[in-house]
Amino acid sequence: MVIFGASGDLTRRKLIPALYDLAAQRRLPMEFAVVGLSRSPMSHEEFRDRLRDALEEQRDGGVSDDVWESFSKGIFYLAGDSRKPETYEELRGFLGELDEERGTQGNRMFYLSSSPSLFPTIVERLGEAGMNQGEGGGYARIVIEKPFGRDLMSARELNAGIQRYFEERQIYRIDHYLGKETVQNILALRFANGIFEPIWNQHYVDHVQITVAEDIGVGTRGAFYEEAGALRDIVQNHLMQVLCLTAMEPPVAFDAESVREEKVKVLRAVRRMDDGEVERSAVRGQYERGWVWGEEVPGYREEEDVDPSSTTETFVALRLFVDNWRWAGVPFYVRAGKRMPKKATEIAVQFHAAPHTPFSRNGTEGLEPNVLVIRVQPDEGVSLKIGAKVPGSGFEVRSVNMDLLYGSAFLEEAPDAYQRLLLDLMLGDPTLFIRADETEGAWSILEPVMKHWSESGEIPFYPAGTWGPEEADELPERDGRGWRRP
Ligand SMILES: NC(=O)C1=CN([C@@H]2O[C@H](COP(=O)(O)OP(=O)(O)OC[C@H]3O[C@@H](n4cnc5c(N)ncnc54)[C@H](OP(=O)(O)O)[C@@H]3O)[C@@H](O)[C@H]2O)C=CC1
Ligand SMILES: O=C1O[C@H](COP(=O)(O)O)[C@@H](O)[C@H](O)[C@H]1O
């Protein structure tokens, strides 16, 4: 596996720890090798030490010497500029040596984890160097990190650039949310149980809310975030994928083509907004100084590498409609933001209220409609809000939660999302990766919103530690509804 962007944050925090865990579970072949590539000069040994230090820090010292010893023997580093053709000559030669020395059999996985602006160049250089094929009958696969382009046009160009050299079966567009156990569980809940599908439609569902809230700010990633914003960083990928899994039709099989085909149909059915609709159904915001978990935190404009007059959004809320037979007229209120009061990713499906309750009005004052909540993180689980009789004389009914906590229901520990996805990559299973038309479909939904916002400089603010600007509350309130508090 060649990692472009080897000295970067993702390699250190996610990719190497996931590979280390796979090694600890003996899921990596002995011959496996990682070659890190970036410009910073480093020896193989310095690269290994740096990765081990990061792992020790992350695991609080809990790194096995034996596992690390055998895993790290397969870690190598090559310093080079990924824009220069000579880097690929050197890389090709080095990989050839590894084939001889470690027996990697000409198989190649190229993981693009460098700055996204370099992705098209790296793909082209790989293709020009003839590295789009494995050596001597081996395979070649390419993994593209997010963000996949920065709008519809650039995503199309990137897809075309990759497809010029690689066939779709070789391409793995990664979105780590698809590797999360609880995101996959949306499919299990819907399609492994008989009771939910019959009511999973406009006849029974009043509306759906999807929240991807984070309590953290942009931290050290100010420069990246200035270019991206919440719409590109979270909504275009993670949030749209969760929406697809929530709204899609049952796939005929759990394989790459069947699952991705159904997801694309959802993206095609999402109603495109015109300018008026963007005004009514899209809200953005930016956090200002405030308090999170009892600590005072800076506003976005005060963060490192952020323009003090930046209008980049750190919060987005949208009201979307999936115009098909199943979901006609059902609003999907979705939101994503940084510096919210807590970290919480969840899908809440709110059902219509009972048409009539034979109890007194006084007795049902605390009764709310049924809501099925799938908690992706934290406190992974599912809960169903139902009405229940309050013990005692009389007949008072109140809403209570029936809860399933994964932590209590299963002894097995959930693997990290990257661990799952890297293993699927090695096995050649792209089911949990994204197809070209999905990336373009998601961008085409957001294109009018991006255009409208780029033309109007004003951005509403919200104090850090709150659930976004007031305008966001108005989104469901105009329809007589309200956001849940996760
Ligand atoms: N970090 C995260 O939490 C997440 C990141 N991602 C995605 O992963 C990707 C990487 O992100 P991240 O690790 O945070 O980014 P970083 O900025 O930390 O790392 C970028 C890497 O690219 C290398 N690089 C930059 N220019 C060149 C060049 N011309 N030639 C060779 N190497 C170069 C840098 O090394 P050097 O300067 O030494 O050359 C560095 O190793 C991005 O697409 C990001 O969106 C996705 C999900 C989460
Ligand atoms: O891709 C990204 O995701 C993280 C949130 O991921 P999670 O697994 O912690 O939910 C987000 O912080 C980051 O900005 C974004 O680039």
Report which protein residue has its CA nearest ligand 2's atom 15.
233
Tokens of 33: 């090798």
Spatial CA neighbour of 17 closest among 64, 58, 46, 47: 58
Domains defined along the chain, listed by start = 2-145 (3.40.50.720), 178-412+434-477 (3.30.360.10)
Active site residues: 238
Q: Strand 2-4's sheet: what is its strand order?
A: 75-79, 34-38, 2-4, 108-112, 140-144, 171-173
* Binding site membership of 78 for ligand 1 (Cβ less than 6 Å): no
Say what the pLDDT of residue 12 is. Answer: 95
- If you measure from the C-alpha of residue 113 to the centroid of ligand 2, how many angstroms do you get, rounded to a whole number? 15
Establish whether 97 is an annotated binding residue. no
Q: Does the C-beta of 175 come closer than 6 Å to ligand 2?
A: no
HEC string of 442-476 equals: HHHHHHHHHHHHHHCCCCCEEECCCCCCHHHHHHH
- Tell me, in angstroms, the distance from the centre of ligand 1 to residue 114's CA: 3
Structural tokens at position 191: 């399609």
Question: In this structure, which amino acid lies at residue 136?
Answer: G
For the chain (486 residues), the mean pLDDT of every run of 10, in chain order, is 96 97 95 97 98 95 94 98 98 97 96 94 97 96 96 97 97 97 94 96 98 96 93 97 98 96 98 96 98 97 97 98 98 98 97 90 88 94 95 92 91 91 97 97 98 90 98 96 95
- Annotated ligand binding at 388? The verdict is no
Name the residue with the closest Cα to ligand 1, atom 48.
10
Distance CA 355, CA 143 (A): 50
Q: What is the ipTM of this complex?
A: 0.98
Atom nearest to 7 CA in ligand 1: 41
pLDDT of residue 411: 84
What pLDDT does 179 receive?
96
Which of ligand 2's atoms lies nearest the C-alpha of 212?
10
Q: Ligand 1 centre from 159 Cα, in Å?
A: 20
DSSP result, 306-371: --TT----SEEEEEEEB-STTTTT-EEEEEEESS-SS-EEEEEEEEPPPS---S-TGGGTT----E
Other CB atoms within 10 Å distance of the CB of residue 301: 17
**214 among the known binding-site residues?**
yes
Q: What is the dihedral of CA 439, 440, 442, 446, to 10 degrees?
A: 130
